[in-house]
Structure 1
Amino acid sequence: ALFTCMFFERINKLQVVIMLSDAVGLGVFTAIGANAAMSHHVDASFLVVSMGVITGIGGGILRDICAQDIPYVFRKEIYAIASILGAISFLITHAMGAHVLAFYVCLLVTFIIRVVTVIYNVHFPVFFKTHAKINKGH
């Protein structure tokens, strides 16, 4: 407790740095995946978005598994949705002819969604499984 009180501010700042770094990584790797799919002339929008999302969330999953933690994507965090929306923004921008700009738009959309949802504590609802006994007419 004493350690926490003494170093709370530093630990709190470190959490912010980690969250921002994670959001940047999510945005960058989502953009890289979507761009890689486009550069291989993948015509199906679903595949471009899927490549972006798999590449984007894959690094975070590996990081959390190595840290023996539950990956963000399997929690109530808005993580994969940020990546999906970023990849969709890549598709839209790319379709408008702004091929280089599409990478940066994807990165920014993903980053902003992730940061805003963390700052404002926006999460998916969590539903708990109940183990209620079912009365079978006895």
Structure 2
Amino acid sequence: MEDKKFPVTLTGPAKIDGVREKPGKRVYVTTALALQLAASGVINPPPFDVEDDAPLGSDFDQAVAAAAAKLAAETIDRTVATITAEKDAELTAAHDEVHGLQKQLVDVKRDAAAKLAEVESRVVSAESLAATAEQRAAEAEKKAAELEAVIAAGSRKK
């Protein structure tokens, strides 16, 4: 299969398809022959035509910078999400511990209230017993005084 031919302008004398051509002449050559002529310095390469939408080095740099920024943002987002999840777990554990301690405090207060009620009941009982004992002691003293009076009266009659 034959290469496609395209036009070039000679800048120096060259032999094209067995014919000597002069500088300035426009000839049609294959890609392989154009490369040989360019290597010999008898043609100037065509000017590079930059299209407006052709990617340039600056476009590549911008794309790399945008990709790096996106990657950095995604990395930060993942890191923040991981740290947030860890801190949420720690916060949940702390809340659970506080709830447990609050429950223990309620239990301790309830037990303390029950013990206090028992102690108060015993104090009331002790006070009641003390009052009864005082009353009985007073009654005993009264009876002792009566007996002493009876004994003293009986000893005077004799």
* Both structures adopt the same fold (TM-score exceeding 0.5): no
Q: Which has the higher contact order (CA 8 A, sep 6+)?
A: 1
TM-score (normalised: structure 1): 0.27
TM-score (normalised: structure 2): 0.24
In terms of fraction of residues, the more strand-rich structure is 2
